Each structure stands twice: as C-alpha cells, then as structure tokens.
Structure 1
Amino acid sequence: MCMVAYSLSPVDSWFFRDGRPFNQGEKNQTDVESMFPPFATTIVGAIRASLARSKGWNGHGDWPSEIKDKLGDGEHLKPLKFQGPYLIRKINGIIEPLFPAPLNIIGKEPSFDEVNWTFSYLNPGNGIDCDLGNEVKLPAATNGTGMKRLNGFFFNKDDMQTILQGNELQHINPIRGKRVSRFVQDYDTAPSPINILWDLEYTVGIERNYQKRTAKEGAIYSSQKVRLCQNVALAMNVSGLTEDLELPATLTFGGESRIAYAEKLENPIGIPEAPPLQSSGGVTRFTVTHLTPAYFERGLAGPGEEFYGIHGTKVISACLERPVRIGGWNSIPARKGPIPLKPFIPPGSVWFCESEKEVAEKVRDLNGCHIGGYTDFGFGQILIGLWKEGA
C-alpha cells in the first residue's frame, strides 16, 4: 500500500465556507466569502465519501463494517493517511507544487518604474522586555523599509529551497493567490496571468416559492465563488489505499455540492529538502515552517520552551499570524451535526529555534513530518530550514 497522489480540478467554480454562521435573514448572508485553499478536512471528506460510494455506499446512513475497514470510521482514518492539500499548476506538461509564503520573508512589490521585487528576512532581533518575558527576541529585519509580509502569496519548490537555505532572495518569484481586485484591471499594470492562481466570482442567489412562482421575500443572498486559473489544481497525497480502491473521475466537492474532476498523478507531490544544519559554539539554529495548519492542544510554545515534540530544542522567536478556526460537519447519523471549531496555527508560520549540536541531524530528519493533532488528515506538516543570528 504505497503513497499515491490525486489532483482535483474544478468542473466549474468552487465554494468553501468558513466556520461563521450562514443563516437566513441575517446580515452575514451578504457577500459570503469563499476560503481558498480549503482545509484538509474538506478534501479528505470528499475523497473518502467518493471512495465509499465506489464500494456501494448509497450516500445515506453509516458505512458498513467492510468499508470502515478500508476507509476508517469518522475522525479515525486508519488505515488511510493524507498529506496536503497542495496547490499545483502545470507548466509545459510538468506539475509544479506551490507552497504558502513563509512569514519570515517580507517584500516590496515593484512599482510602475521598477522591475523586480525587494526582499528581506525576518530574524530574531535584540532582546527586549515585554509581556512575553524579559529579553525576548522579537522578529526584526535588517532593512525592511516599505516591506510587508507576503500574505496570500506562494512560492514554487525551488524558491522555497532558497528560503530554507537562507540564501539571497533577489531571484525568487512570489506568485499571487487571488486577483487583488474584483474589478477589471488595467492590462498594463495587472499582474501577469501566470502569477495569478485564482479569481473570485460574485453571485447572487434567491429562494423560490414554487407555489407562487416568485422569489421568497427576504430570501436573497450573495456569495463569492473561486474560479481557478487554467492548469491550476489542488493535490493530495494518500497512503493506505488497497488495490481495489480507485477514486472515481468526478466527485462532489465543497459547498453547494459542486463538482471536481479527479486525476491520479504519476508521482506523489514532493516537498523541499532540509538543508544541512550548521552549528556554532555547540548550538544549532534552525527554523520550523508550517506547510499546513497545525493544532496543538496545549497552546503555543513560548520563548525558551521546548518546541513541540522535538526534545533538546528551545524556541527563540516566531513569526505567527492569528489562528485559523477549523471545524467541520459530522455526518455519522448518531452524531450528526457541526464539529466544534478549534484554533490552528496557519500555514506559513515560522518558528526560530535552537538545539544542541548532538540532536541537529535528528531535527533535520523531521523535514516533511507532521506534528500536533489530526496529522492523519495532513495537518501539521513542517519544513526545516536555517536562520542566522544578526542576519
């Protein structure tokens, strides 16, 4: 039972809700945003449900025991295990995985009279006394004037490799996720289509009164749909599938039961390699970058504390965004209902850590591993990189 990868491409646009209510008659029915990329739970649920239907499940009620033996039961996925989701795009027939921009990189977009981006690393700065403790080294840049975090941008595998190695950044190319404006842009100033991954479509819906053949009063809503650009798709690595399990070519996916086209890829999606970790004075400095959201039941590690599950290490600083809240829907008849929202560390978050020289190789081996909770879904995948004090 080796690892395989599937890509999911939209037949039309997609719609992915967050955990906020979407109730009739409330203001939050107006301009409901669609999240993208969706969380792993959405993709895992769609894949498992489609596989179950291929084995005879009628779409209602609990799975029979013979299906549970192959696809797991509820939140317990064994024997299955997932990695991702990953954004991918196909260029000249070659599949290129894309990864969320790490938060330790800041940059300035080129203006009208400029051609190239300018970038800088964020690294632990000088110690200051704050509410986190004394002599806390908050992230700082040597020269960050006019720069900001690259929220909503992605990098290809080669550029991520450059960042993990701590190399010069002048040749990396950030790829914008969604188009920056809902309005038509000036073609002379709009980003190149190759550097845009998806657009947002704004739609309006109504509820019909079939007896009167009119729209019901107050039953109108508007929402944003995601339309991927050409040759852009989602991908998921799956292990634990038996030979008799094959994902159907089409499956329902996301809100409003939209359709996705599934394709089995020749190879699993690969991630950047960890660079050799360098030690100075018996201390090894490394970064931990989150590829996928991570859940830690005991909360965030503070300065000087051991990093999660990595013995012999301590946290020096971190570049973190506010948590994302992830829930879901339990379709098991006996427990049918919403799954409570939980806070997850968003992808792209970066930790600056130190370890003793003796455990450096063990730390490097964690590249691509999953830490925290719900790892079978794909949550908590990390990359190991370098940082240089004072850089």
Structure 2
Amino acid sequence: MKMWKFAALDTFFFRDGMPYNAGEGGQTGVNGCFPPFMSTLQGVIRTTLAYGQGWTPETQQKWPEELGTPSDLGQLKLKGPYLLIDDQVLFAVPLLLSKQESSGIYVRLVPAEKEINCDLGAVRLPVSRPKLFGAKPPEKEWLTTEGMNAMLEEGVPAFGQVRRQDELWHEEYRVGLEIKDATRTAVDKKLYSCVHTRPTHNISLGVGVDGVPSNWQDNLCEIVRLGGEGRLARLDIGDFDLTLPECPSLKPKNGVVKFTVILITPAYFNTAGAARKAIQQGPDGIPGRHVSACIGKVQQAGGWDMVNHCPRPLNPVLPPGSAWFYEADGKFLEQIVALHGGFLGDNTDYGYGQLLIGRWGDE
C-alpha cells in the first residue's frame, strides 16, 4: 500500500452540504469542510491513476476497468483520509473527552451508574468523571498519536499532545463574481461567497492507496487539481507508513471486558435504519452489550459526479471522534483486540469507519 500526500500550493476549497445554487444558502456563503471526505478525494486519485494509463476525458473507452465505475472502486482499496502534520497523523478529539475552558483541564465521560428515561428510552447517559463545572467537548482540537494513546489507556492528553485548529489551518472568507468573457466585466447579480482553507506549511492530507499494480503509482503527475475550483495541490507518493496508536491491554474483570470503540474516520451507513441503529444500539459486528455512546452531529458527505457533471447525492455519516461504550464476556477478548484499526459500517473500501479500541471502567 502506498501513501498519497496532498499539500496545498495555495488554498483548498472543500464545501459542506449547504446548497450552492443561485438563490440558496443564505447571505453568509458556503462553509468550508476540512479535512474533506473520501468521496471528494477518491475522484482525484482515480483520475490521476487513469491519466497515467493513457485515459483522457476525450477517450472514455480507455478508462481502466480496475478503477471501477462512478458507483464503485473496482479493485481499488483506500484508507483515510488522514490529517498529517510533518507526516504524523492527527486524530479528531474523541467525544468522550470534555474540557473546562477557563482552566484548560480535561476530564473523561463514562456511562452513568443508573439509567435515565429520555427520548432514547432508558439509557445510561455519559457523565464526567470527576465532575467539573462547565466542562464540554473541546472544539477545534486534534490529538497527536501520544494524545490518542493516552485516551485509549483511559487517561487524558497531556500538554503538547493537543493541536488547536488555528495552529493547523486558517479559514479565509472570499467573495467572487462572474465575468463576461467578451468584455471582461462583471455579470449583474452573479455574486457569490465561500470559505477557503489555508493549511500551514507542514499540514497535508494522507490517503492509503492499494489494489492496483504498484507500477501504476510510479511517475504520476506531481501537481493535481483537488476540490472545488480545481485548487492546485502537490502530490507525493511513498510507501505506506501509518502509525496508529497501539491497542491498550484489556483484561477481563469478574469475567467482563469493558472497552470503547472510537471512530478515526467518518462512518458511512447505506440506510437510515442502519445509521439509527448504530447511534442508539451500537454498530453491527461489535461483540458484547452496548452501554452508552458519545456521538457527534451527523455530517453530509457528497462529492462531484464527473460523468454526469453534477453533485453526488448527500449521504449522512457519523463524524470521527464518535465513541461507544461496551461490555463483553471475557471469551470475546481476542475478537475485540482484533477490531483495533479495523472498520465498521458500509463502504469500508473507501476508508469509511476506521476505529480504535480503548478502555473504560478501570478503577
């Protein structure tokens, strides 16, 4: 497997699911989305590989069958996307972490001892341990590998293991207008606004690419167009060297293993029923009993359909950092550990739903 690293030569423009048609979206413009979803990055990866095999938009019949169709990846296998700082992975802060902004103190959330009746039924809602007034999920923060290791070991990140968003990239609000080709003057009532992302010099996007012959990834174009407005990015391809945090030592206590399942890439579900079940009862394929969860707001993943020249339908995904609490019989210990670094949900060949296993409940 190779790692494809995309570094911005200027700014990126990855928009969210807000409508971007004339007269829609309000007066504040379209928000940016960074890091982008794989539904955006898979397009530039496949077209770059296809160009390397002699395909062009004018010679559609030369499209390599190994690269699939607009609705599937063919033989291609992808992992990520990962936010990289100096080639080291940064992780979205797990939502079972809370922070008191005034003091900068972090605390963990754990399932309450007693069930509470709410709109989800009788559930053990997460509570902070220890109690800390005003603590809430930290916003716009990312964890280093060491910080995520601490989270998996039932700790909290230490100083230097957290990166603030404003250290990684900046948002730039821009206003544009349509120009008449003949006169090079502005077209009336054709004003738009958007938000661009300007990563710092050591930030890039990483995607693991596999499933095609190794020589297909040699001597490809080093400059590609990526995202909205075809912004330019530098492409570096090298051997895949993704260092994930290690799975903590899980030991049954009184015959029961308590563990967490934490998403590090968005989780995709093909049906609304599967997504609802994953939120309320935990995703399929996880052994044991679902106890509680810390789930982020559902996001909308789209992309661009290059064949039909239109946006792809938006699909709901659970954001990275979402976490579930589980209890399982000790006999499932080996199966639980094997899940670390694996995937849940649908479209996992696109990299959706990668997870890490952590601990909870140890005294």
1:155 aligns with 2:143: yes
Deviations, residues 110-162 of structure 1 (Å, cap 9, x unaligned)? 66xxxxx311000001321222223x110000222122102321101111011
Contact 2:108 2:156 in 1 (8 A): no
Partner letter of residue 350 of structure 1? A
Moved more, 166-175 or 117-126: 166-175
1:75 aligns with 2:62: no
Match of 1:326 in 2: 301
- Would the alpha carbon gap of residues 61 and 100 (structure 1) be closer, same or farther in structure 2, given more than 3 Å must change? farther
Secondary structure class of the residue paired with 1:122: strand
Contact 1:51 1:248 in 2 (8 A): no
Deviations, residues 294-330 of structure 1 (Å, cap 9, x unaligned)? 12332233799464112x4121000012211112233
Secondary structure class of the residue paired with 1:281: coil
1:308 to 255, 278, 284: 284
1:11 aligns with 2:3: no
Task: Report the count of equivalent residues.
Answer: 356
TM-score, normalising length from structure 2?
0.91
- Would the alpha carbon gap of residues 255 and 147 (structure 1) be closer, same or farther in structure 2, given more than 3 Å must change? same
Match of 2:208 in 1: 237
Q: Percent identity?
A: 35
1:167 aligns with 2:155: yes
d(CA) in 1 for partners of 2:4 and 2:290? Answer: 36
Contact 2:247 2:337 in 1 (8 A): yes
Shift of 1:288: 0.3
Secondary structure class of the residue paired with 1:106: strand
Partner letter of residue 315 of structure 1? H
Shift of 1:51: 1.2
Deviations, residues 204-226 of structure 1 (Å, cap 9, x unaligned)? 21111234442111111121110
Match of 2:90 in 1: 98
Give the unaligned 5+ runs of structure 1: 112-116, 180-195
Contact 2:262 2:324 in 1 (8 A): yes
1:270 aligns with 2:266: no
Contact 2:14 2:34 in 1 (8 A): yes
1:53 aligns with 2:28: no
Partner letter of residue 65 of structure 2? K
Shift of 1:245: 0.8
Secondary structure class of the residue paired with 1:201: strand
Match of 2:133 in 1: 145
Partner letter of residue 291 of structure 2? I
2:83 to 83, 87, 91: 87
Matches within 5 A, 1:363-374: 363-374=336-347
TM-score, normalising length from structure 1?
0.85
d(CA) in 2 for partners of 1:337 and 1:360? Answer: 47
Shift of 1:68: 1.7
2:222 to 245, 249, 260: 249
Moved more, 250-259 or 265-274: 265-274
Deviations, residues 180-200 of structure 1 (Å, cap 9, x unaligned)? xxxxxxxxxxxxxxxx10011
d(CA) in 2 for partners of 1:32 and 1:50? Answer: 28
Partner letter of residue 366 of structure 1? L
d(CA) in 1 for partners of 2:17 and 2:279? Answer: 31
Secondary structure class of the residue paired with 1:6: strand
Contact 1:302 1:315 in 2 (8 A): no
d(CA) in 2 for partners of 1:299 and 1:99? Answer: 22
- Would the alpha carbon gap of residues 150 and 245 (structure 1) be closer, same or farther in structure 2, given more than 3 Å must change? same
